[in-house]
Structure 1
């Protein structure tokens, strides 16, 4: 920096010529220099004060804004953070075909503890044990004092329990909000819904995942954030489902059955309107699976008999042999076939129920009405093994049902490894081959809708449904007429429901032993029906495990005395609920009719 000289030579010489004192020039220049330095210092100080003022203003503004934000928000517990993806807690609702809730979400709280900030670990442990009887005070106290800083106590709390924990007042007890799955109808449609559990868990949220039923089969759809506000609509009708469960439970109890199953399905769309398996469970408090390896799967209430239950379905299969024979042009409803019993085939003897003999000849229609094993066997031999297998495969009996349940893929029918003619005979009347009631429902739906195989579904369908034709409309129509004869004149006479023209077939099958052979006093009874016979709209399957009717002088175990009356009561109650108007029988012209003014 250039400085002005205090004693400029030119001014000094000039001052001396004028007789002035040169020292005054130096003093004046020194004063001016000091003034400049003072002005620069003042400017520098003022700038520093400005910067400091701005910094203080920004700091106090930030603090004030933060305090205002905290004052305007609700206080929450500190959130534990961890690396990884954020937990998605939202799960779509499940509703029935009319929009009524079957499964939804409910906000609740989890209870956890930070033992390091507890005031009285021993006292807290005892008070928590008083609130939660399943917790032990000594175990809690041990965990509170072992040095850990985090401990789950309860994953789900009721509002009452949460209030009681609040009243303990210890700072080491903390709450984390989360969603849980709620099934407001309790046990209703439990085997369809299945249930949920917690997956990934955090302090403030928990991942709800499906563990069984449709909750697990469609877990990805239900957890999709893009469809979280769009409920999953099932084909079930809540009112019909409740009615069928009520009637089936009463029938199972009265007939001393070990278990029961029922399926009601629309024959044209494949929509399952109701699916029931008993005994049942509450998905809100799902029981643990059986650990006893010697127990049968059906001993667990979690076992879905309608889908997982693979049984020999007895004489309900006879209509398939007759339908195929008519489709191939081998017989007509009036064709007479050999029904002379017993029938000898090699070393095997084919008998009728209770040693009866319906022979020597029966029409094909009477073979179904009287449920003749021998007559069906002769018809099956006309068809032959290869064609029989192909037809049963087209009806879905060789693969698991494609219904939207996680249990369905594992319920594969039990097919004989070899298929000689004796297997053709026994399979024709439902022995030696096992399938589920849902398999049977799908096959009977094909007969009821005019010969088209429709895939069963638990989802509500919109618009027309297509399928594969397995028989002609004429064959299907004749088969329904034969099934109607079973109810009006045959083994299912207790299945008649005035106004609804029930058509169906009974099936009584001895239960196989694990060690081989069959029980003589344990049966699985089935009644497969379609209604109304003049224009079939629904198929109903009722299966009872080990039923026995003790209302008479002798115990009765056949389907005609057990499964049939239960199915009739179901149809009597649910048909009006589904909008089916009863077909009134015409009144004779000469009948007397009461009238009033």
Structure 2
């Protein structure tokens, strides 16, 4: 008999014997077995109850700590992590030419271990001699708390660290950190953005970088003190400085409440410079909290006024229902729905299509929109990207507003820039499509080649429409409201927009929102420059319309930046003449 067979025989005999014993003792031991089963069940229920109580206590403690941290000041609970985590690097941000816009610098932060503090009152007095701006009551509370770690002051200077070390306070120490530094200060603040005290991106391209995965890597400790590859932007720091300077001076000169401008490459969608003023210094962003944080170029929506006539005329011409040689009767105001549509400087006669654009006729523009119809009008503006949220890297982008239901009165007022609010940046992007060959290209703040742009471009208008719009822009720049933007040697064409501001639900007769959108060199544009100025009190020659303030701002930006952008001036009718100075 094999070994396995013997095992099976022994197991079967054991089973037989066990069965026999159970039968004999069933009557005698039944009651004892039942008692044992009840005791086991009672013990199991007790154990489950104890486990539930333990879990409940644990979750209550965790919840209580979360509530405590939620109510505590940020400095109390932030970045209590290993020193190497605090030293994690962010990549430098540079402009298209490699100029540094944001970088990390080494610093230290002051902390305390309250359980090692000998005399809290004395420690507070000693620290105040070096850091007089400290809240003494708050510092005393931290030094007498029962915790083992408290931040006292983040990001000290080397001199402050040296002086505190000399005090020799027990229980006080330093932890190494990285601090973000912006060499240009407010020059490109709305584009670059800023970080919080823990070096995490809060706005602008800083936040964009975190959203691309840097924040997640930092949260799990996957970043280190190693140098990261710089992030190169599309902006040219020289052009950016000019744009901000002109915007700041324009707001102050024309006594406005805000102003902004953008320089956009029409072939690639690259933003070369963009500024919104008031702004802030990202090295100390709290100082700009009241007005400076809002990026009005991409995160503010406005009725863009007569700049929208560019899109109305382009729509009419692109449809084939209107030609440049057509005329419309603008001799009488339009009365519709209890409203009267009239021209600001009416000619009171029949106007050709170029004259409607040149004289900025609301009546003529409204009649062209009526030829297209409500649905066609809405479809065209949607196609141009003016009614949907702009897609770009900046997180701060606001969605345009439009009527919930388009009626005829809405279409008429929208034709000349009232009734739809959109951002100045996407107005510039849509205007670029009317000048670059008909391609709508989403703007970018990162370098992009012309080939890359062509891959994502959408054809929105016909080439013949582009030719017509270049002609109209040039006409208005030379002989219309854009004359104040002319720069010798650079053919500048564009369209002004003077919109009445809405105040308490009504259009004001004394406050305007002015804008000027332009292209240059207008015969074959490479760049679009758009400026706006909000509620100016004066302008060139004393006027308050866009031609007297927004247009001169465009002229100043082009005059100072055209050479940096690589645009060569041309003089004479055929561009072959040279400017000679004697």
Task: Please report the TM-score for the alignment, with normalisation by the length of structure 1.
Answer: 0.78
**Match of residue 448, structure 2, among 461, 466, 472:** 461
**Match of residue 420, structure 2, among 424, 433, 440:** 433
CA distance in 1, matches of 2:195, 2:81: 25
Aligned residue number for residue 531 of structure 2:
542
Aligned residue number for residue 58 of structure 2:
none
Aligned residue number for residue 311 of structure 1:
302
Q: Is the contact between residue 484 and residue 504 of structure 1 (CA under 8 Å) also seen in structure 2?
A: yes
Cα deviation for residue 407 of structure 1 reads 1.2
Aligned residue number for residue 478 of structure 2:
488
Cα deviation for residue 188 of structure 1 reads 1.2
- Structure 2 unaligned segments of length 5 or more: list them: 1-78
CA distance in 1, matches of 2:544, 2:424: 19
**Match of residue 473, structure 1, among 463, 467, 481:** 463
Q: Is the contact between residue 92 and residue 222 of structure 1 (CA under 8 Å) also seen in structure 2?
A: no
Secondary structure of 1:376 counterpart: helix
Are 2:94 and 1:91 aligned? no
Secondary structure of 1:533 counterpart: coil
Secondary structure of 1:399 counterpart: coil
CA distance in 1, matches of 2:562, 2:470: 18
CA distance in 1, matches of 2:255, 2:449: 41
| Count of matched residue pairs | 492
CA distance in 2, matches of 1:81, 1:358: 71
Structure 2 counterparts to residues 317-336 of structure 1, below 5 A = 317-336=308-327
Cα deviation for residue 344 of structure 1 reads 2.3
- Structure 1 unaligned segments of length 5 or more: list them: 1-79, 200-207, 291-298
Are 2:212 and 1:213 aligned? no
**Match of residue 393, structure 1, among 371, 379, 382:** 382
Cα deviation for residue 488 of structure 1 reads 0.7
Structure 2 counterparts to residues 8-157 of structure 1, below 5 A = 89-157=88-156
Secondary structure of 2:187 counterpart: coil
- Of structures 1 and 2, the larger Rg is shown by 1
Are 2:405 and 1:406 aligned? no
Q: Is the contact between residue 124 and residue 168 of structure 1 (CA under 8 Å) also seen in structure 2?
A: no
Secondary structure of 1:540 counterpart: strand
Aligned residue number for residue 56 of structure 1:
none
Q: Is the contact between residue 508 and residue 559 of structure 1 (CA under 8 Å) also seen in structure 2?
A: yes
Task: Please report the TM-score for the alignment, with normalisation by the length of structure 2.
Answer: 0.80
Q: Deviations over 1:361-417 (max 9, x none)?
A: 111011101101011011111111111111100110121111111111xx1111111
Change (3 A) 1:85 1:335: same
Secondary structure of 1:196 counterpart: coil
Change (3 A) 1:404 1:324: same
Greater per-residue helix proportion: 2
Q: Deviations over 1:171-196 (max 9, x none)?
A: 32201001121111111110111211
**Match of residue 302, structure 1, among 290, 293, 297:** 293
CA distance in 1, matches of 2:81, 2:356: 71
Cα deviation for residue 481 of structure 1 reads 0.9
CA distance in 2, matches of 1:551, 1:385: 38
Aligned residue number for residue 430 of structure 2:
443
Secondary structure of 1:284 counterpart: coil
- Please tell me the root mean square deviation across aligned C-alpha atoms, in Å: 2.6
CA distance in 2, matches of 1:547, 1:288: 24
